[in-house]
Chain A
Amino acid sequence: GIQVEQSPPDLILQEGANSTLRCNFSDSVNNLQWFHQNPWGQLINLFYIPSGTKQNGRLSATTVATERYSLLYISSSQTTDSGVYFCAVTGAGSYQLTFGKGTKLSVIP
């Protein structure tokens, strides 16, 4: 099946800093989502982005499907951005979302 790799696995930032999280996938996809899992376990949808670029406030994402990667940008980070960020994809011909292992972000004051 399709493989999803996220980097870095852990990231510590000072409040106000910017960061880039990366997601590589091994095959063509027809769905790619970015999620934020808060400390209570709730998964929050950030972006549905199988291709192209989207922005939502301080967050933006870009997926280059032909090169099989996606990037999540967080600008002016806040302590509330802490948590785990997951990338998940659905391969062509499949209905299953396959998750990466996540990037754990800690934003310190």
Chain B
Amino acid sequence: DGGITQSPKYLFRKEGQNVTLSCEQNLNHDAMYWYRQDPGQGLRLIYYSQIVNDFQKGDIAEGYSVSREKKESFPLTVTSAQKNPTAFYLCASSAGGRETQYFGPGTRLLVL
């Protein structure tokens, strides 16, 4: 089955820790994206990547980092510099930069 997988489904982080969220796609899409959703809100773009080894900051990149070493993988690290990391994180991919985006099931991050 083609699709986007995210892991873990739930993640708990202690203050001061870095955590990495996984996103993998087997759709052979060039572009991948990370979004953050807070309760009752729409999604906001954190980072996106149009091709391997290249990525750009979105609207709320501070406190996050990404890498794109393989076409199918786009991991997101939430660093200790992110002041309010508790949120729902969604990964997406598309064939090209302005094509239909498809979303994974999301990871819920909770800071203890």
Which A residues have a C-beta under 8 Å from some C-beta of B?
1, 4, 30-31, 33, 35, 40-43, 45, 48, 86, 88, 90, 95-102
Contacts and interface: CB of A to CB of B under 8 A. Distances in A.
Interface string B40-59: 11111100101000001011
B103 A95 contact: no
Contacts, number: 56
A99 B102 contact: no
Interface of B: 31, 33, 37, 40-45, 48, 50, 56, 58-59, 88, 90, 97-103, 105-106, 108
Contact of A99 (B44, B48, B105): B44
Contacts of A45: 100-103
A54 B50 CA distance: 28
A90 B31 CA distance: 14
Q: Which secondary structure dominates where chain A touches chain B?
A: strand
A92 B45 CA distance: 17
18 contacts: A1-B59, A35-B103, A42-B105, A42-B106, A43-B90, A45-B103, A48-B99, A86-B42, A88-B42, A90-B98, A95-B31, A95-B50, A96-B45, A96-B48, A97-B101, A99-B43, A99-B44, A101-B42
Given A101-B41, A102-B42, A95 B98 contact: yes
Contacts of A35: 103
A61 to B, nearest CB: 13
Nearest to A47: B100
Contacts of A42: 103, 105-106
A41 B88 contact: yes
B97 A95 contact: yes
List 4 A-B pairs, minimum CB-CB distance, nearest first: A99-B42, A95-B97, A43-B103, A48-B100
Nearest to A95: B97
A87 B90 CA distance: 16
B88 A97 contact: no
A97 B45 contact: yes
A35 to B, nearest CB: 8
Contact of B58 (A31, A90, A96): A96
